[in-house]
Amino acid sequence: MKTLLRPVLVLFILMTVITGLIYPAVVTAVSQVVFSKQANGSLIERNGKSVGSSLMGQQFDAPYYFWGRLSATTPMPYNPQNSGGSNLGPTNPALADEIKGRLDALKAAGNDMSQPVPVDLVTSSGSGLDPEISPAAAAYQAARVAKARGLSRDQVTNLIASNTSGRQFGLFGEARVNVLKLNLALDDLKPMH
């Protein structure tokens, strides 16, 4: 029994050191050198203070800001500890209520409801943490934001265009607009506070 136990114990300690200490240390060191910004949360700073991450959505509901996708996380929106979609099917009345609530909020904020509302403004993302919206969703909100900020529609449209990212590597995904970066650019153009 002793002859069997010793190699097992040595292998256990060796694998613990390799997979529990050496491998994580190497991966952390490489990520800090090669992908430092991403490894540290892709934080966005203003005046030396972190205001958010480009990878995490934030709640914006003032009329003078662009709004992101709905967050299905609870108990608060964009809660990374509770990431996940709502799993509400198309025939679920709760989904219809959620969409109606968002349509009502868009209308109350002063959006033009005679235009088709982009789907990403009334539905939750799969993770509940999506930081981006489609260029169509941003364009839909442009008139409201321009009016609330006292800017021309062209100024806001140009800001959307300059904050639109294309497909990744020109192949994957769709064009997108990071809501936090766009709202920070708005504040740089014309602060509201």
The per-residue pLDDT for range 107-119, each reduced to its tens digit, is 988 888 899 999 9
- What's residue 40's pLDDT? 84
Residue 120's pLDDT band (cuts 50, 70, 90): very high
Residues in the chain: 193
DSSP code for 169: T
Q: Specify the pLDDT at position 78.
A: 85
The average pLDDT across 150-177 equals 92
- Mean pLDDT over the full length of the chain: 90
pLDDT band at 193 (very low <50, low <70, confident <90, very high): low
Position 83, amino acid: S
Burial state string for 30-40 with b = 16 or more CB within 10 A and e = fewer than 16? eeeeeeeeeee
Distance between CA atoms of 100 and 173, rounded to whole angstroms? Answer: 28
